[in-house]
Amino acid sequence: MLPDFPNLKKDILDHLVYQFERARLSDSFLSRIRHYMQHEGNDGTYETVNGGKREKQYKRFKTDYKITADEIINSNFEVVLKKFYEMGLDASSQIVQHSFKTIQKTTDEIGNSIKANGPWTKELFLKTIKKIHIDFDLDTGQAIMPTMYIHPSQADTVRLMHQDAESDPQYKIDFDKIMIQKRKEFDDREANRKLVD
């Protein structure tokens, strides 16, 4: 009978699983999302910001890899780790695409989406932040602006729009009016939360 090395096998598995986690953390979107490991079951529940409960069916994401005999013979364990990291990148890409499709579907369903029909403008940005839930730092009073994700092809357009907005006095007035309203909404939420607690 061949000897068994359970501790060694566990260490190897931990190294392989870590490659998936490293790939997930390298993604600017996924790295911001809290997650946990559910060890069994095909579904789960989650709570909405309004306190409602929803059921969720899990979606399977899969990716393949192949290591040739030559790679094993002519290399070391690093080649296996690299393959698992590449698999993690592929799986992360699938999860991100699925997440954005789900976000799009949800925002469309509740009427909280905006159709740009063209490049980013100052007006479109103001219209967007009117629909966004914004919190404020309790110590400084500063708005905690959410992270916005844009398609890479729009990055230059958005950058130019923000540069133009910084020198537009009317934009500043309009932005400040929205922030005053957002602060009122935040204060109302906080007051309501304290009453419930």
- pLDDT for the residue numbered 143: 94
- pLDDT for the residue numbered 1: 66
DSSP state of 53: E
- pLDDT for the residue numbered 175: 94
Q: How far apart are CA 66 and CA 28, in angstroms?
A: 27
Helices 122-131 & 155-166 angle (0-180, nearest 10): 90
Q: Domain ranges in the chain?
A: 6-110, 122-196
Secondary structure (3-state) at 143? strand
Confirm if 143 and 179 have CB atoms less than 8 A apart.
yes
Distances in Å between the alpha carbon of 126 and those of 75, 77, 130, 171, 174?
55, 52, 6, 8, 8
- pLDDT for the residue numbered 159: 87
Q: pTM for the full model?
A: 0.71
Distances in Å between the alpha carbon of 37 and those of 21, 34, 41?
12, 11, 11
- pLDDT for the residue numbered 152: 81
pLDDT in tens, the chain (197 residues): 677 888 888 888 888 888 989 999 999 899 988 877 777 888 888 787 677 888 888 888 888 888 888 887 888 888 888 889 999 999 999 999 999 998 888 888 888 788 777 778 899 889 989 988 899 999 999 999 988 888 788 888 888 888 888 899 999 999 999 999 999 999 998 888 766 55
- pLDDT for the residue numbered 91: 92
- pLDDT for the residue numbered 121: 87
Among candidate residues 188, 183, 104, the one with its CA nearest the CA of residue 151: 104
- pLDDT for the residue numbered 153: 83
